[in-house]
Amino acid sequence: MSFKVLSSTVAAAVDKELMSTVGFSIDQLMELAGLSVAQAVYKTYPPSTHNKVLVICGPGNNGGDGLVASRHLKLFGYTPTVYYPKHKSSNVLFNNLLTQLKTFKIDVLQNELSNSELKSLINENDQIIDAIFGFSFHPPLRSPFDTIIEHLKQVETSKPITCVDCPTGWDVDKGPNIADLVDAKYILNPSSLVSLTAPKPGSKFFKGNYHYLGGRFISKEMAQKWDIDIPNYPGVDQVVRLNI
């Protein structure tokens, strides 16, 4: 399957329409996105082989997708741990998501970790989910996320890493290795990518083995308006694997 890509500008416009004339709330879209990520992880790295999952969440909606995915992963039989160093404490939606994780007894680390603590946390988990920044990200990376990506770079060839919508550190439209990034130590090369709604232009540079598309919430009429390809989702799945 080869799918049309959606630029960051158009993706933002699509989200805006979904949450206005179409009638979705941000909570609903985040729930569907997080479920898509969890299903993709289950299909690729099941709990029988990769039970301990470190979910690294950023301060925005991409991070919210990661919080939702963590809850579903717990229900799927995993042991997730969430690292959430930048939290919008005044945001009701994110506070509710954190309350849900507490209810399900999922460990959430909200204080920034030292280099040694972060290294140990990464090493003690079987796989990592990068839910730091999505299509609204613009380089360069800033603290503490630059350091986080540096540490993930050290294990990217030995430990599965799944990125939500766009690998953190990439320009969503231009991909990796662009002048704005300056340093290759911030260019993550994950093994798995879950594009949401539609693949973004930067995904053309993805070299991992598993590329999924999630977002079973686009009507045929909306897809036609925005020139979005809708895949044939198998059964009740929220994700479909794309050809690399």
Distance CA 42, CA 24 (A): 26
- Is 136 annotated to bind ligand? yes
The letter for the amino acid at 117 is E
Q: Checking DSSP bridges between strand 79-83 and strand 161-164, what pairing results, if any?
A: unpaired
- Is 130 annotated to bind ligand? yes
- Is 20 annotated to bind ligand? no
Structure tokens at 147: 């350091």
- Is 214 annotated to bind ligand? no
- Is 138 annotated to bind ligand? yes
- Is 134 annotated to bind ligand? yes
- Is 62 annotated to bind ligand? yes
- Is 65 annotated to bind ligand? yes
- Is 81 annotated to bind ligand? no
DSSP state of 230: P
Distance CA 162, CA 189 (A): 10
Q: Is 10 exposed, middle or buried (CB count within 10 Å of its CB: 0-12, 13-18, 19+)? A: middle
- Is 24 annotated to bind ligand? no
- Is 59 annotated to bind ligand? no
- Is 140 annotated to bind ligand? yes
- Is 205 annotated to bind ligand? no
- Is 168 annotated to bind ligand? yes
Helix locations, 19-171, DSSP H: 26-44, 61-75, 92-103, 115-123, 145-153
Structure tokens at 121: 């946390």
Q: Checking DSSP bridges between strand 210-214 and strand 239-242, what pairing results, if any?
A: antiparallel
CB 24 within 8 A of CB 18: yes
Q: Which parts are annotated binding residues for (6S)-NADPHX?
A: 61-65, 134-140, 165
Residues contributing to the annotated binding site = 61-65, 130, 134-140, 165, 168
Residues comprising the binding site for K(+)? Answer: 62, 130, 168
